[in-house]
Structure 1
Amino acid sequence: MAKEGVEITEETEHMIEKNGGKEQENLLSVADTKEMRAVVLTGFGGLNKLRVTKRAMPEPQEGEVKIRVKACGLNFLDLMVRQGNIDNPPKTPLVPGFECSGIVEAMGDNTKGFEIGDRVMAFVNYNAWAEVVCTPLEFVYKIPDDMTFPEAAAFSLNFVAAYMMLFEIANLREGMSVLVHSVGGAVGQAVAQLCSTVPNVTVFGTASSSKHEAIKESVTHLFDRSADYVQEVKKISPDGVDVVLDCLCGENTGKGLGLLKPLGTYILYGAYDRMPLTTRHTVSSSNMVTGETKSFFSFAKSWWQVEKVNPIKLYEENKVISGFSLLNLLFKQGRGGLVKTVVQKLFSLYNQKKIKPRVDSLWALEE
């Protein structure tokens, strides 16, 4: 597992296979080609609900690509899935994970554009925490030659989400200003890097004070999450900001809307504030990683704080509120073609060395 970013609640981690500090090219013995190892969620709850077990190896169906996984992501949504704290949770047992990178091992019929041995990253609708995955062709992308497998696993969800929110929804342009919550996390850092590719964009960010030293170079103005960031932003920019990216929700929604300029865009994404209050106050520890299933009533208490928005008020103030879910866009709304276009734009920026995903450490599958 490769830890990326600087805080467990704000970033993605990535599972990889290691052997003496090096990635294994062959994750299974030659004699055992019909089975693979996978992390299985046996029920909703803490880490004791996860097991590394052998499962039947999948084979690609028509339109699918089979990938030998070298790195796979562990992001905040995965932790919520493990605890069962999502809408319409899937049935257990299941193999978690939505993003991975690796090598093409086989292809089903009608899968033009790839060859066995290609280095790729992919989105998967669950099942990424395994040695082998099969996923539709439209969710697979060849990665740049210089990109490592852990980087690719850190790249997919975070940078694609950041790019689409900034450029597809908010139409980021020269001279605009952006406020991003949890800027120390993987999406937040991707947002900061992408903002730096547009001239004269001002980035305001909130993060835990203990993380400021590690991220201060990527943000124009950095504030402690617990401080009165609204007044601090207004001191610097009395008119407010053009874009707010909010993964916290709750009481921050009203604050952010108050900071938004006319014709500004407020984007809600992620699910951090759906956690119980007791968990949100201790997420920098291992609480969220190891914690058990949370109470529905705790979530209800958190969501009750969300600002009630009158549509007429939006009309009068010329403000836009938008939501964003990359996985829904991919797996439920059929916009894989748009995402593929975004991925190619991001790879171009990566090749120009304008953006680079952060990987903090590497962990083996069993860890």
Structure 2
Amino acid sequence: MKPTDMAKEGAEMTEETEHMIEKNGEKETENVVPAGDAKEMRAVILSGFGGLNKLRVTKKAMPEPQEGEVKIRVKACGLNFLDLMVRQGNIDNPPKTPFVPGFECSGIVEAMGESTNGFEIGDRVMAFVNYNAWAEVVCTPVDYVYKMPDDMSFPEAAAFSINFVAAYMMLFEVANLRDGMSVLVHSAGGGVGQAVAQLCSTIPNVTVFGTASSFKHEAIKDSVTHLFDRNVDYVQEVKKISPDGVDIVLDCLCGENTGKGLGLLRPLGTYILYGSSNMVTGETKSFFSFAKSWWQVEKVNPIKLYEENKVMAGFSLLNLLFKQGRCGHVKTVVDKLFSLYNQKKIRPVVDSLWALEEVREQLVVRDISLNTSVMMSDWRVC
């Protein structure tokens, strides 16, 4: 799909999003609720790791910004596959329950702590949050907050941050995508997968191979060059088209796909692992699925990498931000992405919109299937 086509599709989806907002309640407003008018807020609480019965919407004390923090009245928050893994406890060092999930949101600056520069009350912003995004109000350090482009809607912004920043950094910072290269991306219908496809379309002559479940193919067939059912032997299908393999493999599945991805790499190619969704099956964490996926991972031999001139890498955006202190680097990437957005070369595609109270119905594997779902904190289910 050409950049202009992708932007057109994104614009059409945005119009549909705005129509849905109008249908389900009053038009989203930018009126700021004065700090101190309400001492409580609604939030989604995860009371324990496991099934959907561990999630509930309740009221809790509203946070106030500490030094260096921005208080945001949340308009929309992202709902990604990562959130499913969090619910099941399928992540490293999860926080103790109960807690509020969610890592990305968009909204309006309502207050600022001391030593906070660059923002004003009323600014439209998107932000990364180290949990706590699924609430009406969040406080997060100013280094994780970005002013939204004027034309970007709140649902778009909530679907933008994790997906596009991760896709950009893997393609350009880790794998050094250039003219004429080829990319294999798994879960091509997901939020990161679609961001990868759009970003690849900004570079001339890039071939994108994608795998996805068959029911997603109709919706995403124009966004990748070659699309395969994830349940077929995609290795042989790729080799039929490109006998010497591909330059970049982006793997969010893990398990047996690790060895397959390394095997498909050309010399000087880069394999990047950025997830392990094969370890998640069903509604709750399964030790059997985890063990099976782990033991399917091909043991990587450094000597073999050296002999074959291949690169193996890992990428975690949240660790980069919250554990490794690279927020300055990420801000530079966000600025580049906003430039591409303003040039109408990329545009997040919002799959669906939901009220906070509907999170139980949406945080299921089959529903985290296409792009990014967005929860609107302004909506209430009657």
Structure 1 length normalisation: TM-score? 0.89
For 1:355 and 1:99, locate their aligned partners in 2 and report how far apart those are by CA, in whole Å: 19
User: More displaced, 24-33 or 311-320?
Assistant: 24-33
SS at match of 2:254: coil
Whether contact under 8 Å (1:46, 1:83) holds in the other structure is: yes
SS at match of 1:112: coil
Q: Quick check: 1:207 aligned with 2:212?
A: yes
Partner letter of residue 298 of structure 1?
Answer: S
For 2:96 and 2:353, locate their aligned partners in 1 and report how far apart those are by CA, in whole Å: 30
1:10 equivalent in structure 2: none
Residues 30/164 of structure 1: CA separation in 2 closer, same or farther (3 Å cut): closer
For 1:113 and 1:28, locate their aligned partners in 2 and report how far apart those are by CA, in whole Å: 21
Alignment of 1:145-294 (within 5 A): 145-275=150-280, 279=281, 287=282, 291=283, 293-294=284-285
1:351 equivalent in structure 2: 342
Partner letter of residue 341 of structure 1?
Answer: T
SS at match of 1:40: strand
User: More displaced, 337-346 or 28-37?
Assistant: 28-37
Deviation sequence 1:74-106 (CA, Å, 0-9, x none): 111111111122222211110000000000001
1:117 equivalent in structure 2: 122
Shift of 1:20: 2.0
Whether contact under 8 Å (2:51, 2:88) holds in the other structure is: yes
Q: Quick check: 1:84 aligned with 2:75?
A: no
Structure 2 length normalisation: TM-score? 0.85
Q: Quick check: 1:132 aligned with 2:137?
A: yes
SS at match of 2:115: coil
Whether contact under 8 Å (2:32, 2:110) holds in the other structure is: no
2:27 equivalent in structure 1: 22
1:320 equivalent in structure 2: 311
SS at match of 1:329: helix
Residues 30/68 of structure 1: CA separation in 2 closer, same or farther (3 Å cut): closer
Partner letter of residue 357 of structure 1?
Answer: P
Shift of 1:149: 0.3
SS at match of 1:39: strand
Aligned-residue CA RMSD (Å) = 1.9
Shift of 1:297: 3.5
Partner letter of residue 80 of structure 1?
Answer: M
Of all paired residues, the percent bearing the same amino acid is: 86
Shift of 1:22: 3.2
SS at match of 1:218: coil
1:143 aligns with one of 131, 143, 148: 148
Runs of 4+, deviation exceeding 4 Å: 16-19, 24-32
Shift of 1:54: 1.1
Deviation sequence 1:52-81 (CA, Å, 0-9, x none): 111111111111100000000111111111
1:360 aligns with one of 351, 354, 361: 351
For 2:324 and 2:317, locate their aligned partners in 1 and report how far apart those are by CA, in whole Å: 10
1:12 equivalent in structure 2: none
Residues 18/27 of structure 1: CA separation in 2 closer, same or farther (3 Å cut): farther
2:374 equivalent in structure 1: none
For 1:35 and 1:67, locate their aligned partners in 2 and report how far apart those are by CA, in whole Å: 14
Residues 90/30 of structure 1: CA separation in 2 closer, same or farther (3 Å cut): closer
SS at match of 2:109: strand
Shift of 1:347: 0.4
Partner letter of residue 97 of structure 2?
Answer: T
Residues 255/30 of structure 1: CA separation in 2 closer, same or farther (3 Å cut): closer
User: Aligned residues, how many?
Assistant: 339
For 2:305 and 2:36, locate their aligned partners in 1 and report how far apart those are by CA, in whole Å: 63
Shift of 1:32: 4.9
Shift of 1:144: 0.3
Whether contact under 8 Å (2:35, 2:111) holds in the other structure is: no
2:107 equivalent in structure 1: 102
Structure 1: 5+ residue stretches without partners:
6-15, 280-286
Whether contact under 8 Å (1:250, 1:304) holds in the other structure is: yes
Whether contact under 8 Å (1:273, 1:303) holds in the other structure is: no
Whether contact under 8 Å (2:261, 2:271) holds in the other structure is: yes
User: More displaced, 300-309 or 315-324?
Assistant: 300-309
For 1:351 and 1:125, locate their aligned partners in 2 and report how far apart those are by CA, in whole Å: 28
Shift of 1:360: 2.2
